[in-house]
Amino acid sequence: MMSPAVEVKIATLLEVLDEDIRHLEGALSRLDALRSLLVKRDDVALAGLLGDIRQQADAHRANEQKRQQFRKELAADLGCAEGDLTLSKLRGELAGPTGPETQRRCGAALADRQIRLRSLAAQLKREYTLTVLLLRDCTRFNRSVLQVFLGSGGRGGAIYNSTGVAKRPTNAALMNMKL
């Protein structure tokens, strides 16, 4: 049987998990906005987005601390090590056909949050990978453009004759870098 104190802690933990869900949904939204702004090359909006990401990171750190505190308290209440208490283990403690109705409801609520968190984490991983690929493509494209405008980029740009005088290829680039 679950004590009222544990029930209150689980209810608060559910609120913390809901905040984690909102954070992951926001992160997905910010990654989507980041990709869009990169394609549009909107530096002002990118700077604003970076500020928003920093604020959200600070808020998430506070939520992370709350979750760890509740995990520690629940582990002590349930008589297990803090490192051993996971959502799955907590659900196992609460689930069971013979438990009280509130205990089963808490277990079901934890299961819902766990499924949602797993789904969002997988989606975030996929979106993050897509964003990294976009950034790599942007970097490759920018290097190619610089190569066309500026030439070889300092790699083998000068050719030395037998007297040591440098001869730079002036017709290899759209811009002549010779002063």
Count up the domains in the chain and report the number. 1
> What is the reported pLDDT for 96?
59
> What is the reported pLDDT for 104?
80
Return the residue matching tokens 């993050």: 128
DSSP E strands in 35-135: the ranges are none
* Domain presence at residue 110: yes
DSSP character at residue 84: G
The rounded distance, in Å, linking the Cα atoms of 103 and 100 is 5
* Domain presence at residue 176: no
* Domain presence at residue 175: no
Which range marks the domain in which residue 96 is found?
Answer: 4-167
> What is the reported pLDDT for 170?
61
For residue range 29-40, list pLDDT tens digits in order: 999 999 999 889
* Domain presence at residue 163: yes
> What is the reported pLDDT for 48?
94
* Domain presence at residue 53: yes
> What is the reported pLDDT for 117?
96
Spell out, as residue ranges, where the chain has pLDDT lower than 50: 154
Q: Is 40 exposed, middle or buried (0-12, 13-18, 19+ CB in 10 A)?
A: exposed
CB 10 within 8 A of CB 108: no
For residue range 130-166, list pLDDT tens digits in order: 999 999 998 999 888 887 777 655 455 667 777 878 7
* Domain presence at residue 178: no
> What is the reported pLDDT for 172?
57
